[in-house]
Structure 1
Amino acid sequence: MVRWEREKVLKIKQELVKFKNDPNILPKNASKANIFCILENSLALSLAVFIPNIPANARWTEKGITVAGGNGSGNALNQLKGPYGLCVDDDQNIYIADTSNHRIVQWKAGAASGQVIAGGNGPGNGTEQLNTPFDVIIDKE
C-alpha cells in the first residue's frame, strides 16, 4: 500500500513538473478548477490549478450567498466540519465531502439543512462508514 501511494505521488509530481514547464498542455476545453491532492509523509498538500474564463471587466457582488453550512462548525445537518471536496449535479444539488465528520452530505438547492447520503457513523471501514473523505464525484448513470 505504501509503495503504491509513493508511486502515485511520484506520478503526480511528474505531471506537475510537466505543467510547470509548459502550461499549455492542458486541454483547450478545461474551464473548471482541477485540484491535485498529494499525500506524503502524513502531510496533505493541496495544489490548485485555476483556469478561469472571467472577463477582465467582470463585476462582483459584494455579498455572497451561503448555499451549505453557515451555522458554525459542527456535526448537525445544518453544519459542516472540514468541508473539502464538492460536486454539483444537473439538478443543482451540492454534494460535499464533510471530511472531519466522515460523511458525504447532499444539499438540495435552497435547503436549510443537508442530508447524509454516505458515512456519518464515525471513521472506519465498515459498510456504513467513511474515513476522512476528501472528495466526491457523482455518476449520472
Structure 2
Amino acid sequence: MFINDIEKKLKDLNEQIKEIHQENEFNEMNLNYLRNQLTEIKEELNNSSNISIKEDSQSFINEVSIITSKKSKSNKWKQNAITVAGGNGQGHKRNQLKSPHGIFIDKKKHIFITDCFNHRIAEWECNAKEEQIIVGANKQGNRMNQLNWPKDVVVDQQNHSIIIADFENRRVIQWLNQNQQILIDNIDCYGLGMDKHGFLYVSDYVMNEVRRWKMGEYDNEGIVVAGGNGKGNKLNQLNYPSFIFVDEDQSVYVTDRKSDRVMKWRKDAKEGTIVAGGNGQGENLNQLFYPRRVIVDDLGQIYVAD
C-alpha cells in the first residue's frame, strides 16, 4: 500500500511537470515547488517504517535534481509588473485596497493582504477581480471579531488558520473557521513570521526585539531571538523592528527601520549581522531609508522594500 501511494504521488507530479512544460511556464517558483514535492517523497521513502532496509544499505534517494533545457525566467526581472490585487484606487470596495501592509502567499498562490486602513484581511485568488474579506468585515474596533490597523498576516498551512498582528489592539489574534482566539496579548506587535517547524515569530517595535513561540504554547513570554538589549544600533540591538522573514535554517531577517538597515540573526545568536543598509539614511545603493518589507529567496538573495 505504501509503495502504491508513492507511485501515485510520482504520477501526479509527472502530470504537473507535463502541464507546466506545455504552458511554457518553467520559472524559479515552479522549480522550487517541484523540488519540494520530490524532497517530500524522498523523505517518505527514507523514513518509512513500512519498508525494511539492511543496516549497511544506502538510502533510496540521496539527491533530487530537476534538469530543464529552458533558462529560468527569473534571471532578469521584467520592468512592467502585473497587478494581482487592488489597482482601482484607494478605497474600501472589494476591488480596492487602502494602505496595504503585510502580505502572505500560500501554497495555492492565494494572496493574503493586511488592508490596514480598512481594518481587514483580504484574500485574492489568482486572476481574481475582487477580494474576499476573510477577517475584519465588522469595521474598526477592539472586539474579538474586529481589527484595528492590522500590520501583518501569516497563514498556518497545517490547520489553515489566519494569524494577524492586530497593531492598535496590541495583540496577535488567530482566526480559524470564523472563530477567534487571542494568542498573545499586550504586545506591541508589528511583523510576523513562521518557520517550517511551526514556531511563530513576532516583532515588538517598543521592546525592540523579536520573540519566538512554539505553536500552541502561548502562555509564556516566548524566547528572544533578535534584539532585546534596548533601543540602539549596535549589533545586539534593534531600533523599531518591523517586518521579519524566517529562512529554512531558522535565521531571522529583520527590517530595523530607524537604524535604516536589515539585520540577520542566526538561530541562538547573541548578535546580528548587517545584510543590507547600515550606512546611514540615504538613497545610495548601499543605503536604506526606513526599510519596510524583507524577503529572502532560495538562493539567499535579499529583497527589501525601501
| TM-score class normalised by the smaller sequence | 0.5 to 0.7
Question: In the TM superposition, what is the alpha-carbon distance from 1:28 to its structure 2 partner?
Answer: 9.2
Change (3 A) 1:37 1:54: closer
Deviation sequence 1:92-137 (CA, Å, 0-9, x none): 1110000000000000000000000010011111121011101101
Q: 2:227 aligns with which of 65, 69, 80?
A: 69
The answer to which of 61-70 and 110-119 deviates more is 61-70
Change (3 A) 1:90 1:126: same
Structure 2: distance between partners of 1:27 and 1:140: 16
Change (3 A) 1:65 1:134: same
Amino acid at match of 1:102: D
Structure 2: distance between partners of 1:61 and 1:112: 24
> Residue 257 of structure 2 contacts residue 290 of structure 2 at CA under 8 Å; is this kept in 1?
yes
Question: In the TM superposition, what is the alpha-carbon distance from 1:62 to its structure 2 partner?
Answer: 1.9
> Residue 34 of structure 1 contacts residue 48 of structure 1 at CA under 8 Å; is this kept in 2?
no
Identity of aligned residues (%): 34
Question: TM-score by structure 2 length?
Answer: 0.33
Aligned CA-pair RMSD: 3.7
Amino acid at match of 1:10: G
Change (3 A) 1:29 1:108: same
Question: TM-score by structure 1 length?
Answer: 0.66
Select the structure that is richer in strand.
2
Q: 2:265 aligns with which of 85, 94, 107?
A: 107
Amino acid at match of 1:104: V
Q: Specify which structure has the bigger relative contact order, considering alpha-carbon pairs within 8 angstroms and separated by 6 or more residues.
A: 1
Q: 1:92 aligns with which of 231, 246, 250?
A: 250
Question: In the TM superposition, what is the alpha-carbon distance from 1:16 to its structure 2 partner?
Answer: 7.4
Question: In the TM superposition, what is the alpha-carbon distance from 1:11 to its structure 2 partner?
Answer: 5.2
Larger radius of gyration: 2
